[in-house]
Structure 1
Amino acid sequence: MSDRVCSRAGCRAGAEWQVVWRNPRIHAADRRKIWAACAEHVDYLRDYLAARDFPVEVLAFDVEAPA
């Protein structure tokens, strides 16, 4: 297991993905939050945020998240 753990509740799997998002109602355009995601939960986490109309982007951990 990697040092990064999936952010999905109850999941302890190693994370391979960064789910980069922000809530435009409370976060400035330059503020980003990052959830870690395993391969099993990356789609779930992305879809959860997208359903709330939050800007969301999925990146592999070998790619640096936007500043």
Structure 2
Amino acid sequence: MNLTNLSGPTPPSPTTPQCSAKGCRADAVWVLAWNNPKLHTPERRKTWLACDEHRESLSQFLGVRGFLKDVVTLAEWESAERQD
């Protein structure tokens, strides 16, 4: 018996970025840029991706903690990344 791959084939990675909300696999539309000031330097930005449905709840989660720095569309974020 071959036990090397009991879990089956590795699923393909998504071709478009997906929402970061738990269990959601919708295409991302928004980038939530955040920073935990206890862990990160002020200029560092970590990101979560959000679909339209989860943008508000993910923003609230980060905002209540004082972590949320910016919310922009994925297209704007990618455009700014190309310019850097």
Answer yes or no: same fold by TM over 0.5.
yes
Quote the sequence identity (%). 39
CA RMSD in angstroms, aligned pairs only: 2.1
For structure 1, the 5+ residue unaligned runs are none
- Please list every run of at least 4 consecutive aligned residues from structure 1 whose deviation after the TM superposition is greater than 4 angstroms: none
Normalised by the length of structure 1, the TM-score is: 0.88
2:65 pairs with 1:30: no
- Specify the structure having the higher radius of gyration (Cα): 2
1:50 aligns with 2:66: no
TM-score norm. by structure 2 comes to: 0.71
**Residue-pair matches, total:** 67
Does the alignment pair 1:16 with 2:29? Answer: yes
| Unpaired stretches in structure 2, ≥5 consecutive residues | 1-13
Task: Select the structure that is richer in helix.
Answer: 2
